[in-house]
Amino acid sequence: MTVSIKRARDILQQAELLLTAKQVQVALHRVAQQINDQLGETHPLVLSVMAGSVVFSGQLLPLLNFPLDFDYVHLSRYGDARQGGEIQWKVAPDESVRGRTVLLLDDILDEGHTLAALHQRVMELGAARCYSAVFADKRHGKPKPIQADFVGLELPDRFVFGYGMDIEGAWRNLPAIYAVRE
């Protein structure tokens, strides 16, 4: 179920702007350069994690200056909720990863369970190497089962939305990053 327009607007009006659209773009260009430097000679298979990484992926891909193949996967622990639950696979990676260098793209590395499960599955399917890039890494002081190879920026341990990340199913389309007021 999606949030009402009034509720979505109220959420945004009460939120705190953490990073402007310009700061987001600076982070995007920085992570693109890091990926170009490391993977520029590999012709990787890029797997975008839907739906959160659609904005990150869509803006990152044109900044990558090497040939690549693209596909997507769809798994989630959140849905429209604010807390993670069981991992639900909607579209899993397939055999096309065998022998390939794979780059996973996701919006945020929060607790790390989703990205860790995806990385494990890609390696089980026979990928030669698996890298991960996240637009944001949430700093919450807890150990994570995986660290991303490429990180756009770090965020505080707050509920954030915008730039692909949603709140109650809304506001993925914002060019900036916001946090729910504490």
pLDDT tens digits for 114-164? 899 999 989 999 999 999 999 999 998 889 999 999 999 999 999 999 999
Residue 177 lies in a domain: no
C-alpha torsion sign, points 115, 119, 125, 127: positive
Confidence of residue 3 (pLDDT cuts 50, 70, 90): confident
Q: Can you give the CATH number for the domain in which 93 is found?
A: 3.40.50.2020
Give the pLDDT confidence score for residue 95 in this predicted structure. 67
Which value, to the nearest 10 degrees, does the dihedral of the CA atoms of residues 47, 53, 59, 65 take? -20
Give the pLDDT confidence score for residue 86 in this predicted structure. 73
Residue 6 lies in a domain: no
Give the pLDDT confidence score for residue 81 in this predicted structure. 47
Residue 5 lies in a domain: no
Residue 37 lies in a domain: yes
Residue 112 lies in a domain: yes
Angle at 54 between CA 51 and CA 58, to 5 degrees: 170
List Cβ<8 Å contacts ≥24 apart for 144-150.
144/109, 144/111, 144/112, 144/116, 145/112, 145/113, 145/116, 146/109, 146/112, 146/115, 146/116, 146/119, 147/109, 147/112, 148/106, 148/109, 148/115, 149/38, 150/31, 150/34, 150/35, 150/38
- Parent domain of 127: 27-168
Residue 122 lies in a domain: yes
Single pTM value for the model: 0.89
Question: How far, CA to CA in Å, does 138 sit from each of 17, 109, 160?
Answer: 16, 6, 9
pLDDT tens digits for 12-60? 999 999 999 999 999 999 999 999 999 999 999 999 998 788 999 999 9
Residue 4 lies in a domain: no
**Alpha helix (H) ranges present in the chain?**
5-14, 21-39, 54-60, 113-124
Number of domains in the chain: 1
Question: Looking at the predicted structure, is the pLDDT value of residue 11 above 80?
Answer: yes
Mean pLDDT of 102-123: 92
Question: Looking at the predicted structure, is the pLDDT value of residue 91 above 50?
Answer: yes
Reference 80, options 148, 20, 152, 7; nearest CA is: 7
Residue 174 lies in a domain: no
